Amino acid sequence: MTDIDAPLRSASGFDLTPPGEAERVALEADLSAEEKRVLLAHGTEAPFCGTLLGEKRDGVFCCRQCGLPLFRAGTKFESGTGWPSFTRPVDDAHVRAVTDRAYGMTRTETRCARCDSHQGHVFPDGPPPTGQRYCINSVALSFVATGSPLPDPLGRGDGVA
């Protein structure tokens, strides 16, 4: 393998190379209708109904589609908004910011840096130390308790939480 063929890696060591077409088809086939609506069509789940809103165990929240670790449990906080909220990503390279001008307003959409799935939005009204509130759809995430294997649907050997 040449350097040109080497996978793109984050500072924390995760492979950020986007899935190929066949991999993307397989990932999308594993999603429920609601997951497809949020992750692929940039939808939003209803507030206060997400299964991860009350999750308090130690671990990591990963992209539901590709398994990339996005947020650590220690950065989760109760925002009162009805969606899981976090102060920072596991690695800044794991979450991509995109300007969203839908619905007559300008917001910053957050997407998984590996598979480009819609996660939610980030707002500058969070608590210290970052002042950021990553407001994320529960359906866009999967939770992995500390010590458990991370989801690895792309077979990239990304390790344990």
Is residue 125 included in any domain, yes or no? yes
Is residue 85 included in any domain, yes or no? yes
CA distance linking residue 50 with residue 151, whole number of Å: 20
Active site residues: 135
Task: Give the model confidence (pLDDT) of 6-48 as tens digits.
Answer: 568 899 999 999 999 999 999 999 999 999 999 999 999 999 9
pTM of the model: 0.91
Number of domains into which the chain is organized: 1
Task: Give the model confidence (pLDDT) of 73-128 as tens digits.
Answer: 999 999 999 999 999 999 999 999 998 887 788 889 999 999 999 999 999 999 99
Quote the pLDDT of residue 1.
39
For residue 69 the two structure tokens come to 């670790």
Is residue 14 included in any domain, yes or no? no
Report the CATH number at residue 25. 2.170.150.20
Is residue 4 included in any domain, yes or no? no
Closest CA to 139 of 125, 116, 118: 118
CA distance linking residue 28 with residue 30, whole number of Å: 5
Is residue 156 included in any domain, yes or no? no
User: Which domain covers residue 110, as residue numbers?
Assistant: 21-145
Is residue 122 included in any domain, yes or no? yes
Is residue 1 included in any domain, yes or no? no
Average pLDDT over residues 64-71: 97
> Residue 129: is its pLDDT beyond 60?
yes
Quote the pLDDT of residue 7.
66
Is residue 130 included in any domain, yes or no? yes
